[in-house]
Structure 1
Amino acid sequence: MNITEGVYSLDCAGYGHVFYLEDEQALIDTGLPNKGNRILQELSCLGIKPEDIRRILLTHHDVDHAGNVRFLEEKTGAEVFIGKEDLPYLMNQAARPGIKKYLQKFLHVVPPKYCKPLEAPGNSVAIQMYHTPGHTPGHHVFLYGGVLFAGDLFRIEGTHIKKIPSRMNWNGELLANSISLLKKIPFTLVCPSHGNPMTREKLLPLIEQLWGNQS
Protein backbone atom coordinates (compact mmCIF):
# COMPACT_ATOMS: atom_id res chain seq x y z
CA MET A 1 0.00 0.00 0.00
CA ASN A 2 1.27 3.47 -0.92
CA ILE A 3 0.99 5.63 2.23
CA THR A 4 2.34 8.79 0.61
CA GLU A 5 4.66 9.31 -2.35
CA GLY A 6 7.63 6.99 -1.91
CA VAL A 7 6.37 5.57 1.40
CA TYR A 8 5.06 2.02 1.29
CA SER A 9 3.38 -0.32 3.77
CA LEU A 10 4.10 -4.00 3.10
CA ASP A 11 1.43 -6.45 4.20
CA CYS A 12 3.33 -9.62 3.30
CA ALA A 13 5.28 -9.88 6.54
CA GLY A 14 2.59 -11.60 8.58
CA TYR A 15 1.42 -10.15 11.86
CA GLY A 16 2.11 -6.44 11.48
CA HIS A 17 3.47 -4.04 8.90
CA VAL A 18 6.85 -3.44 7.37
CA PHE A 19 7.43 0.02 5.86
CA TYR A 20 9.82 1.17 3.14
CA LEU A 21 10.96 4.75 2.59
CA GLU A 22 12.12 4.91 -1.00
CA ASP A 23 14.08 8.17 -1.01
CA GLU A 24 15.84 7.20 2.22
CA GLN A 25 16.40 3.57 1.13
CA ALA A 26 15.25 2.57 4.60
CA LEU A 27 13.18 -0.37 5.79
CA ILE A 28 11.30 0.03 9.08
CA ASP A 29 10.93 -3.32 10.88
CA THR A 30 11.13 -6.77 9.29
CA GLY A 31 8.04 -8.78 10.31
CA LEU A 32 7.67 -12.29 11.73
CA PRO A 33 10.38 -14.89 11.10
CA ASN A 34 10.51 -16.70 7.73
CA LYS A 35 8.87 -13.85 5.80
CA GLY A 36 12.05 -12.41 4.32
CA ASN A 37 11.55 -13.75 0.80
CA ARG A 38 7.99 -12.42 0.73
CA ILE A 39 9.23 -8.99 1.74
CA LEU A 40 11.80 -8.95 -1.05
CA GLN A 41 9.21 -10.21 -3.55
CA GLU A 42 6.73 -7.48 -2.66
CA LEU A 43 9.44 -4.86 -2.88
CA SER A 44 10.44 -6.26 -6.26
CA CYS A 45 6.87 -5.73 -7.48
CA LEU A 46 7.37 -2.07 -6.56
CA GLY A 47 10.57 -1.93 -8.59
CA ILE A 48 12.79 -1.99 -5.49
CA LYS A 49 15.87 -4.20 -5.59
CA PRO A 50 17.62 -5.68 -2.52
CA GLU A 51 20.58 -3.36 -3.06
CA ASP A 52 18.20 -0.39 -2.85
CA ILE A 53 17.78 -1.09 0.88
CA ARG A 54 20.66 0.58 2.71
CA ARG A 55 19.31 0.76 6.27
CA ILE A 56 17.01 -1.31 8.45
CA LEU A 57 15.50 0.66 11.34
CA LEU A 58 13.87 -1.42 14.08
CA THR A 59 11.25 0.18 16.30
CA HIS A 60 12.04 -2.45 18.96
CA HIS A 61 13.30 -5.99 19.56
CA ASP A 62 10.05 -8.02 19.44
CA VAL A 63 9.97 -11.08 17.18
CA ASP A 64 7.27 -9.67 14.88
CA HIS A 65 9.48 -6.67 14.19
CA ALA A 66 12.95 -8.23 14.07
CA GLY A 67 12.03 -11.66 12.70
CA ASN A 68 13.82 -11.32 9.35
CA VAL A 69 16.56 -8.91 10.28
CA ARG A 70 19.48 -11.31 9.72
CA PHE A 71 18.06 -12.60 6.42
CA LEU A 72 17.47 -9.10 5.07
CA GLU A 73 20.82 -7.85 6.34
CA GLU A 74 22.57 -10.60 4.38
CA LYS A 75 20.44 -10.24 1.22
CA THR A 76 20.66 -6.45 1.03
CA GLY A 77 23.91 -5.50 2.76
CA ALA A 78 21.94 -2.93 4.78
CA GLU A 79 23.09 -1.54 8.10
CA VAL A 80 20.85 -2.39 11.05
CA PHE A 81 19.86 0.08 13.77
CA ILE A 82 17.87 -0.30 16.99
CA GLY A 83 17.50 1.67 20.24
CA LYS A 84 20.54 1.10 22.46
CA GLU A 85 18.36 -0.17 25.32
CA ASP A 86 16.97 -2.95 23.09
CA LEU A 87 20.30 -3.83 21.50
CA PRO A 88 21.28 -6.57 24.01
CA TYR A 89 17.89 -8.28 23.59
CA LEU A 90 18.14 -8.25 19.81
CA MET A 91 21.68 -9.64 19.92
CA ASN A 92 20.71 -12.38 22.42
CA GLN A 93 23.04 -10.88 25.03
CA ALA A 94 20.20 -10.61 27.54
CA ALA A 95 16.92 -12.44 28.10
CA ARG A 96 13.87 -10.53 26.89
CA PRO A 97 11.75 -9.15 29.76
CA GLY A 98 8.60 -10.91 30.97
CA ILE A 99 6.62 -13.29 28.80
CA LYS A 100 8.72 -12.38 25.77
CA LYS A 101 11.59 -14.60 26.87
CA TYR A 102 9.26 -17.57 26.34
CA LEU A 103 7.98 -16.30 22.99
CA GLN A 104 11.58 -16.02 21.84
CA LYS A 105 12.00 -19.77 22.28
CA PHE A 106 9.05 -20.56 20.00
CA LEU A 107 9.64 -17.78 17.45
CA HIS A 108 13.39 -17.81 17.16
CA VAL A 109 14.99 -14.63 15.84
CA VAL A 110 18.48 -14.89 14.36
CA PRO A 111 20.22 -11.66 15.37
CA PRO A 112 21.99 -9.55 12.75
CA LYS A 113 25.72 -9.89 12.36
CA TYR A 114 26.13 -6.21 13.15
CA CYS A 115 23.80 -3.67 14.72
CA LYS A 116 24.26 -0.05 15.69
CA PRO A 117 22.32 2.02 18.21
CA LEU A 118 19.93 4.49 16.62
CA GLU A 119 21.91 7.37 18.10
CA ALA A 120 24.95 6.40 16.00
CA PRO A 121 26.09 8.66 13.13
CA GLY A 122 24.92 7.68 9.69
CA ASN A 123 21.18 7.91 10.24
CA SER A 124 19.33 10.24 7.87
CA VAL A 125 18.56 13.71 9.14
CA ALA A 126 15.30 13.45 7.18
CA ILE A 127 14.13 10.69 9.53
CA GLN A 128 13.57 12.01 13.03
CA MET A 129 13.78 9.49 15.85
CA TYR A 130 12.07 9.63 19.24
CA HIS A 131 12.83 7.35 22.17
CA THR A 132 9.45 6.11 23.41
CA PRO A 133 10.12 3.49 26.12
CA GLY A 134 7.41 1.47 27.78
CA HIS A 135 6.46 -1.29 25.39
CA THR A 136 10.16 -2.17 25.46
CA PRO A 137 13.08 -0.29 27.03
CA GLY A 138 14.44 0.90 23.68
CA HIS A 139 11.24 1.39 21.69
CA HIS A 140 11.52 4.19 19.11
CA VAL A 141 9.13 5.88 16.72
CA PHE A 142 10.18 7.50 13.45
CA LEU A 143 8.90 10.65 11.77
CA TYR A 144 9.38 11.11 8.05
CA GLY A 145 7.59 13.53 5.76
CA GLY A 146 4.80 14.10 8.28
CA VAL A 147 4.21 10.36 8.72
CA LEU A 148 4.81 8.90 12.17
CA PHE A 149 5.71 5.22 12.33
CA ALA A 150 4.50 4.39 15.83
CA GLY A 151 5.61 0.80 16.31
CA ASP A 152 3.75 -0.85 19.17
CA LEU A 153 2.68 2.15 21.23
CA PHE A 154 -0.90 1.04 20.44
CA ARG A 155 -2.97 -0.72 17.79
CA ILE A 156 -5.58 0.79 15.49
CA GLU A 157 -8.74 -1.17 14.77
CA GLY A 158 -11.10 0.57 12.39
CA THR A 159 -11.82 3.98 13.88
CA HIS A 160 -10.58 3.06 17.35
CA ILE A 161 -7.24 2.64 19.05
CA LYS A 162 -6.54 -0.27 21.37
CA LYS A 163 -4.02 -0.59 24.15
CA ILE A 164 -1.34 -3.23 23.83
CA PRO A 165 -2.06 -5.89 26.51
CA SER A 166 -0.23 -5.00 29.70
CA ARG A 167 1.53 -8.37 29.87
CA MET A 168 3.28 -7.47 26.61
CA ASN A 169 4.59 -4.14 27.92
CA TRP A 170 7.80 -3.66 29.84
CA ASN A 171 6.68 -0.57 31.82
CA GLY A 172 3.12 0.79 31.67
CA GLU A 173 3.94 4.12 33.32
CA LEU A 174 6.72 4.89 30.87
CA LEU A 175 4.47 3.83 28.01
CA ALA A 176 1.85 6.38 29.06
CA ASN A 177 4.54 9.07 29.16
CA SER A 178 5.72 8.08 25.68
CA ILE A 179 2.20 8.25 24.29
CA SER A 180 1.84 11.72 25.79
CA LEU A 181 4.95 12.71 23.82
CA LEU A 182 3.02 12.23 20.59
CA LYS A 183 1.17 15.48 21.25
CA LYS A 184 4.46 17.33 20.72
CA ILE A 185 5.54 15.51 17.56
CA PRO A 186 4.52 17.36 14.35
CA PHE A 187 3.03 14.43 12.43
CA THR A 188 -0.03 14.57 10.19
CA LEU A 189 -0.55 10.82 9.77
CA VAL A 190 0.29 7.94 12.10
CA CYS A 191 1.07 4.41 10.91
CA PRO A 192 1.05 1.81 13.70
CA SER A 193 2.65 -1.58 13.24
CA HIS A 194 -0.76 -3.17 13.74
CA GLY A 195 -3.72 -1.52 12.04
CA ASN A 196 -4.38 1.12 9.41
CA PRO A 197 -3.12 4.72 9.25
CA MET A 198 -5.00 7.46 11.10
CA THR A 199 -4.81 11.24 10.91
CA ARG A 200 -3.51 13.35 13.77
CA GLU A 201 -6.93 15.01 14.17
CA LYS A 202 -8.60 11.66 14.79
CA LEU A 203 -5.81 10.11 16.84
CA LEU A 204 -5.12 12.71 19.53
CA PRO A 205 -8.67 12.83 20.96
CA LEU A 206 -8.68 9.02 21.17
CA ILE A 207 -5.36 9.07 22.99
CA GLU A 208 -6.79 11.58 25.44
CA GLN A 209 -9.75 9.30 26.11
CA LEU A 210 -7.56 6.28 26.89
CA TRP A 211 -4.50 7.85 28.54
CA GLY A 212 -5.54 11.38 29.45
CA ASN A 213 -5.59 10.70 33.17
CA GLN A 214 -2.31 8.76 33.08
CA SER A 215 0.03 10.78 30.86
Structure 2
Amino acid sequence: MLVHLRGAVWQIDCGGVNAYLADADVLTLVDTGTPWHGATVRTAIREAGFEVADLGRILITHYDIDHVGSLASLAAETGATVHMGAADAPFLMAKEQPPGLTLKGAIQRLTDPFVDRPATDPELMADGDEAGSFVAYHTPGHTPGHTAYVSDALDAAFVGDLVVEDEGELAPSPWFISYDTESVRESIHDLADRAPAVDVLGMGHGVPFVEAGSVRLAELGQRIEAR
Protein backbone atom coordinates (compact mmCIF):
# COMPACT_ATOMS: atom_id res chain seq x y z
CA MET A 1 0.00 0.00 0.00
CA LEU A 2 1.29 3.42 -0.97
CA VAL A 3 1.00 6.31 1.52
CA HIS A 4 2.01 9.84 0.58
CA LEU A 5 3.95 11.35 3.49
CA ARG A 6 4.86 14.83 2.27
CA GLY A 7 6.45 16.44 -0.77
CA ALA A 8 8.12 13.82 -2.91
CA VAL A 9 8.25 11.12 -0.23
CA TRP A 10 6.04 8.03 0.05
CA GLN A 11 5.79 5.08 2.40
CA ILE A 12 5.35 1.65 0.84
CA ASP A 13 3.57 -0.37 3.52
CA CYS A 14 4.45 -3.97 2.80
CA GLY A 15 2.52 -5.28 5.80
CA GLY A 16 4.80 -5.44 8.83
CA VAL A 17 7.74 -3.74 7.16
CA ASN A 18 8.16 -0.47 5.28
CA ALA A 19 10.01 0.57 2.16
CA TYR A 20 10.13 4.20 1.05
CA LEU A 21 10.06 5.98 -2.29
CA ALA A 22 11.54 9.43 -2.83
CA ASP A 23 11.73 11.53 -5.96
CA ALA A 24 15.08 13.21 -5.41
CA ASP A 25 17.65 13.90 -8.12
CA VAL A 26 16.71 10.40 -9.30
CA LEU A 27 13.83 8.19 -8.21
CA THR A 28 15.07 6.43 -5.08
CA LEU A 29 13.84 3.39 -3.19
CA VAL A 30 14.86 2.87 0.44
CA ASP A 31 14.80 -0.85 1.28
CA THR A 32 12.81 -3.43 -0.66
CA GLY A 33 10.70 -5.58 1.66
CA THR A 34 10.81 -9.38 1.71
CA PRO A 35 11.27 -11.63 -1.33
CA TRP A 36 7.47 -11.71 -1.57
CA HIS A 37 7.02 -7.94 -1.74
CA GLY A 38 8.42 -7.26 -5.19
CA ALA A 39 4.95 -6.91 -6.71
CA THR A 40 3.87 -4.60 -3.88
CA VAL A 41 6.83 -2.31 -4.49
CA ARG A 42 6.30 -2.25 -8.25
CA THR A 43 2.61 -1.44 -7.87
CA ALA A 44 3.42 1.36 -5.41
CA ILE A 45 5.93 2.92 -7.80
CA ARG A 46 3.28 3.03 -10.52
CA GLU A 47 0.65 4.41 -8.11
CA ALA A 48 3.06 7.25 -7.28
CA GLY A 49 3.03 8.19 -10.96
CA PHE A 50 6.29 6.60 -12.11
CA GLU A 51 7.37 3.61 -14.12
CA VAL A 52 9.42 0.87 -12.47
CA ALA A 53 12.11 1.56 -15.08
CA ASP A 54 12.44 5.09 -13.67
CA LEU A 55 14.03 3.73 -10.50
CA GLY A 56 17.62 4.92 -10.47
CA ARG A 57 18.86 4.30 -6.93
CA ILE A 58 18.21 1.78 -4.14
CA LEU A 59 19.42 2.59 -0.64
CA ILE A 60 19.66 -0.37 1.73
CA THR A 61 19.65 0.41 5.45
CA HIS A 62 20.90 -3.04 6.49
CA TYR A 63 21.05 -6.72 5.72
CA ASP A 64 17.86 -8.48 6.80
CA ILE A 65 15.55 -10.53 4.60
CA ASP A 66 12.67 -8.08 5.11
CA HIS A 67 14.80 -5.19 3.83
CA VAL A 68 16.78 -6.80 0.98
CA GLY A 69 14.36 -9.53 -0.07
CA SER A 70 13.26 -7.98 -3.38
CA LEU A 71 16.52 -6.16 -4.05
CA ALA A 72 18.01 -8.54 -6.61
CA SER A 73 14.98 -8.60 -8.88
CA LEU A 74 14.40 -4.84 -8.71
CA ALA A 75 18.06 -4.05 -9.36
CA ALA A 76 18.16 -6.47 -12.29
CA GLU A 77 14.99 -5.06 -13.81
CA THR A 78 15.87 -1.39 -13.48
CA GLY A 79 19.67 -1.24 -13.42
CA ALA A 80 19.37 0.99 -10.34
CA THR A 81 22.54 1.69 -8.40
CA VAL A 82 22.50 -0.07 -5.03
CA HIS A 83 24.08 1.56 -1.95
CA MET A 84 24.70 -0.20 1.36
CA GLY A 85 26.80 0.02 4.51
CA ALA A 86 30.18 -1.65 4.11
CA ALA A 87 29.93 -3.99 7.10
CA ASP A 88 26.64 -5.56 5.95
CA ALA A 89 27.46 -5.90 2.25
CA PRO A 90 29.48 -9.16 2.67
CA PHE A 91 26.39 -10.79 4.20
CA LEU A 92 24.24 -9.70 1.26
CA MET A 93 26.74 -10.98 -1.30
CA ALA A 94 27.38 -14.24 0.62
CA LYS A 95 31.07 -13.42 1.01
CA GLU A 96 30.74 -13.76 4.78
CA GLN A 97 28.22 -15.46 7.04
CA PRO A 98 26.58 -13.59 9.89
CA PRO A 99 28.12 -14.69 13.21
CA GLY A 100 26.08 -17.64 14.40
CA LEU A 101 26.89 -17.22 18.09
CA THR A 102 24.47 -14.29 18.41
CA LEU A 103 20.70 -14.67 18.22
CA LYS A 104 20.51 -12.00 15.54
CA GLY A 105 23.22 -13.69 13.49
CA ALA A 106 21.54 -17.07 13.86
CA ILE A 107 18.26 -15.61 12.57
CA GLN A 108 20.08 -14.10 9.59
CA ARG A 109 21.74 -17.43 8.83
CA LEU A 110 18.38 -19.20 8.89
CA THR A 111 16.89 -16.74 6.39
CA ASP A 112 19.98 -16.58 4.14
CA PRO A 113 18.77 -19.34 1.75
CA PHE A 114 15.70 -17.27 0.88
CA VAL A 115 17.70 -14.16 -0.12
CA ASP A 116 18.52 -13.70 -3.80
CA ARG A 117 21.93 -12.11 -4.35
CA PRO A 118 22.31 -9.14 -6.70
CA ALA A 119 24.42 -9.69 -9.77
CA THR A 120 26.90 -6.98 -8.81
CA ASP A 121 28.31 -5.73 -5.52
CA PRO A 122 26.59 -2.68 -4.02
CA GLU A 123 28.35 0.64 -3.74
CA LEU A 124 29.67 0.79 -0.20
CA MET A 125 28.56 3.68 1.98
CA ALA A 126 30.70 4.97 4.83
CA ASP A 127 29.61 7.53 7.39
CA GLY A 128 29.25 10.89 5.65
CA ASP A 129 29.14 9.52 2.12
CA GLU A 130 26.59 11.05 -0.21
CA ALA A 131 24.26 9.65 -2.85
CA GLY A 132 22.52 12.56 -4.49
CA SER A 133 20.83 14.55 -1.71
CA PHE A 134 21.15 11.65 0.75
CA VAL A 135 23.87 11.59 3.40
CA ALA A 136 24.75 8.25 4.98
CA TYR A 137 25.03 7.95 8.75
CA HIS A 138 26.61 4.77 10.08
CA THR A 139 24.27 3.64 12.87
CA PRO A 140 25.52 0.22 14.01
CA GLY A 141 23.93 -1.95 16.64
CA HIS A 142 20.95 -3.57 14.98
CA THR A 143 23.48 -4.86 12.46
CA PRO A 144 27.18 -3.98 12.06
CA GLY A 145 26.68 -1.96 8.88
CA HIS A 146 23.29 -0.45 9.63
CA THR A 147 23.02 2.90 7.85
CA ALA A 148 20.49 5.72 8.05
CA TYR A 149 19.97 8.04 5.08
CA VAL A 150 19.06 11.69 5.60
CA SER A 151 18.05 14.16 2.90
CA ASP A 152 17.84 17.79 3.97
CA ALA A 153 16.34 18.63 0.57
CA LEU A 154 13.52 16.14 1.07
CA ASP A 155 13.12 17.00 4.77
CA ALA A 156 13.33 13.28 5.51
CA ALA A 157 15.39 10.68 7.35
CA PHE A 158 15.12 6.96 6.75
CA VAL A 159 16.43 5.09 9.76
CA GLY A 160 15.73 1.42 9.04
CA ASP A 161 15.57 -0.67 12.21
CA LEU A 162 17.55 1.68 14.42
CA VAL A 163 14.20 2.40 16.10
CA VAL A 164 10.69 0.96 16.01
CA GLU A 165 7.37 2.78 16.34
CA ASP A 166 4.41 1.46 18.32
CA GLU A 167 1.23 3.45 19.00
CA GLY A 168 2.98 6.75 18.38
CA GLU A 169 6.01 6.04 20.54
CA LEU A 170 9.58 5.31 19.48
CA ALA A 171 11.76 2.64 21.05
CA PRO A 172 15.29 1.43 20.29
CA SER A 173 15.71 -1.73 18.27
CA PRO A 174 15.12 -4.50 20.86
CA TRP A 175 17.85 -6.85 22.05
CA PHE A 176 16.50 -10.01 20.45
CA ILE A 177 16.85 -8.60 16.93
CA SER A 178 20.02 -6.59 17.47
CA TYR A 179 23.70 -7.45 17.58
CA ASP A 180 24.53 -4.88 20.26
CA THR A 181 21.88 -2.91 22.15
CA GLU A 182 24.43 -0.51 23.65
CA SER A 183 25.59 0.40 20.14
CA VAL A 184 21.95 0.92 19.17
CA ARG A 185 21.56 3.45 21.95
CA GLU A 186 24.79 5.21 21.03
CA SER A 187 23.70 5.35 17.39
CA ILE A 188 20.38 6.95 18.34
CA HIS A 189 22.21 9.69 20.26
CA ASP A 190 24.75 10.14 17.48
CA LEU A 191 22.16 10.44 14.72
CA ALA A 192 20.03 12.84 16.76
CA ASP A 193 23.10 15.00 17.46
CA ARG A 194 24.62 15.09 13.98
CA ALA A 195 21.83 14.88 11.42
CA PRO A 196 19.98 17.99 10.25
CA ALA A 197 16.49 18.55 11.60
CA VAL A 198 13.82 16.96 9.39
CA ASP A 199 10.09 16.41 9.68
CA VAL A 200 9.74 12.97 8.10
CA LEU A 201 11.18 10.07 10.09
CA GLY A 202 10.73 6.77 8.30
CA MET A 203 11.47 3.58 10.20
CA GLY A 204 11.36 0.00 9.00
CA HIS A 205 8.60 -1.06 11.37
CA GLY A 206 5.75 1.14 12.51
CA VAL A 207 4.03 4.29 11.32
CA PRO A 208 6.44 6.97 10.06
CA PHE A 209 6.30 10.49 11.48
CA VAL A 210 5.55 13.33 9.07
CA GLU A 211 6.19 16.21 11.48
CA ALA A 212 9.02 16.86 13.95
CA GLY A 213 10.66 13.51 13.24
CA SER A 214 14.05 14.68 14.45
CA VAL A 215 12.47 16.01 17.63
CA ARG A 216 10.90 12.63 18.31
CA LEU A 217 14.26 10.92 17.81
CA ALA A 218 15.95 13.37 20.18
CA GLU A 219 13.22 12.80 22.75
CA LEU A 220 13.86 9.07 22.56
CA GLY A 221 17.55 9.73 23.14
CA GLN A 222 16.70 11.70 26.27
CA ARG A 223 14.44 8.94 27.59
CA ILE A 224 16.96 6.15 27.18
CA GLU A 225 19.70 8.33 28.67
CA ALA A 226 17.59 8.93 31.78
CA ARG A 227 17.08 5.24 32.50
- In the superposition, the TM-score normalised over structure 1's length comes to 0.89
CA contact (8 A) 2:174 2:181 kept: no
Matched, 1:135 2:128: no
**C-alpha distance in 2 between matches for 1:132 and 1:141:** 6
CA contact (8 A) 1:95 1:101 kept: no
Give CA deviations for 1:68-88 in whole Å, capped at 9, x if unaligned: 111111121112111111111
Q: Secondary structure at the match of 1:204?
A: helix
CA contact (8 A) 1:15 1:31 kept: no
Q: Secondary structure at the match of 2:33?
A: coil
Matched, 1:21 2:31: no
| Paired residues for 1:2-41 under 5 Å | 2-11=4-13, 13-23=14-24, 24-41=26-43
**C-alpha distance in 1 between matches for 2:15 and 2:83:** 21
| Paired residues for 1:60-209 under 5 Å | 60-97=62-99, 98-99=102-103, 100-106=105-111, 108-114=114-120, 115-119=122-126, 124-144=131-151, 145-184=154-193, 185-189=195-199, 190-198=201-209, 199=212, 200-209=214-223
**C-alpha distance in 2 between matches for 1:174 and 1:160:** 20
Q: Secondary structure at the match of 2:41?
A: helix
Alpha-carbon RMSD across the aligned residues, in angstroms, is 2.1
Q: Quick one: percent identity of the two aligned structures?
A: 28
**C-alpha distance in 1 between matches for 2:31 and 2:12:** 10
**C-alpha distance in 2 between matches for 1:123 and 1:54:** 15
* Offset of residue 164 of structure 1: 2.2
Name the structure where strand makes up a greater proportion of residues.
2
* Offset of residue 14 of structure 1: 3.3
**C-alpha distance in 1 between matches for 2:163 and 2:7:** 25
CA contact (8 A) 2:192 2:221 kept: no
Aligned residues: 211
CA contact (8 A) 1:148 1:187 kept: no
* Offset of residue 183 of structure 1: 2.4
**C-alpha distance in 2 between matches for 1:103 and 1:183:** 28
Q: Secondary structure at the match of 2:131?
A: coil
CA contact (8 A) 1:14 1:32 kept: no
- In the superposition, the TM-score normalised over structure 2's length comes to 0.85
Structure 1: tracts of 5 or more residues without a match: none
